[in-house]
Amino acid sequence: MLKVNEESLKKAKATYQEQSQRMRDLKTKLSTAVNGIKEGWDSSAGDEFFKKYDNEWEKNITDYIEVIQHMSDNINIADNKYQTVFDTADKIKLR
């Protein structure tokens, strides 16, 4: 038996969309902050920090954003497909 809770599906959809946007915002803010200190940090330690930032942190957060967005997209697709079922069920309840 398959059971789908419309409210839970919509809540999950909204949560994933919100978290995806929050991760994008975080990435933008941190990138701005890192770029802001780049000019003033001219040393081998600074070079290592920025290399690690570019090659690891930025790549990892981009990957996480893609995963969360993929999950959000799939929940959105499921919600759209189940909406017809929900609408039909609501019509049956009214009879």
3-state secondary structure at position 41: coil
Task: Report the percent of the chain where pLDDT is more than 70.
Answer: 98
Q: In this predicted model, what pLDDT tens digit does every residue of 19-65 receive, in sequence order?
A: 999 999 999 999 999 999 998 999 999 999 999 999 999 999 999 99
Rg (CA), the chain: 21
| Fold category of 6-88 in CATH | Helix Hairpins (1.10.287)
Is residue 94 predicted with pLDDT exceeding 70?
Answer: no
DSSP label of 1: -
Both structure tokens of 11: 């809540």
Question: What is the Cα–Cα distance from 60 to 54, expressed in whole angstroms?
Answer: 10
